Amino acid sequence: MSIETLKQSNSTSMEETHLPKTSSNSSYPTPLSPPLPLISKEIELSRAMAASSKATVFSLSRDDVIFEDQWLLVVNKPSGIYCETVLSSVPRLLQQSSDSVEASELHLANRLDRDTSGVMVITKFHKVAAKLVKAFTDHKVQKTYMALCVGSAPKWDRIRLKSGHGRSKFGAWRVYAASDVGRKLPGGSVVKDMETLFELLSVNRVIHFKESFQCAENLEKVVVVEDKSSTDANHGRDEILVRAFPKSGRTHQIRLHCQYLGLSIKGDVKYEGVCEWKGEICDAHSLHAESLSLEHPITGLPVKFQAPLPLWATQACNHEDHT
């Protein structure tokens, strides 16, 4: 595979591209991703109202439980449900067993966006929560996500994106240049680093990789973001399934990086994703927290929690003509 680069690394298995940064006269760094589309406000409000209406009737079932011991409860969060709604339903779930835990002790170890499904860890005691928070802060937790995107089929097998991340003056999360990390933003915050590895799994339901890292020896392209994306998020109508490995844990990280690559997640109207696809309205974005790997906060043993794939992910990997 031929990849045009401006900087070649010493390794034969990796190429690194530094994109030139656009100059700016502003005292604040310039965001490189576009502002929120106007249509997103109305759609997001509708989705938020729908999620809020479910808050009083939602309840977890034992089928939602991925793992449980005396310290942790790991569940498969449904799409379209707030994390707080899931947390508030945990006491009712625990009442079905002999495990008695004070509701005030329950804590969300990780948070997922409203429309993101998948692995969510809930600690049963404050002391356990503190240990897990430290593990996340120290980047000792490995995460994988699945995302169904719409755009032009990528020419890469694996790509690592390094950029900045922060809030613009209007409060929206945006991509910034990697060289802007540490610079102050409006409101007093600073640009933070953001890094995601993406692996191409399928295009138009034709399998590309069958297993994660199956072709790890293949060339990995590394892009260090310094300018606006040259790829139009609205160009191309291929259906693309990717697995994402976020190294950092920034808000909307995978959604922002998919947008930057010109592969906005299906249904993610906030970041230029299609709101209608093949004649159907998208009620949510197609992003799934697939797995979490970490050391158990009490036993110290390595554990991996994996959520069942949603229908859109299994369909994207199931085509009668794939090889």
Active site residues: 113
CA atoms of 244 and 254, how far apart (whole Å): 7
- φ, ψ for residue 102, nearest 5 deg: -70, 135
Q: What are the φ/ψ torsions at residue 48 (nearest 5 degrees)?
A: -65, -40
What Rg, from alpha-carbon coordinates, does the chain have?
Answer: 20
Amino acid in the structure at residue 272: E
CB-based contact 271:265 (threshold 8 Å):
yes
Instruction: Report yes or no: 108 and 90 within 8 Å, Cβ to Cβ.
Output: no
User: What SS3 state is found at 287?
Assistant: strand
Which residue do the tokens 């295009």 mark?
203
- Beta-carbon contacts of 280 under 8 Å, excluding residues fewer than 6 positions away, are none
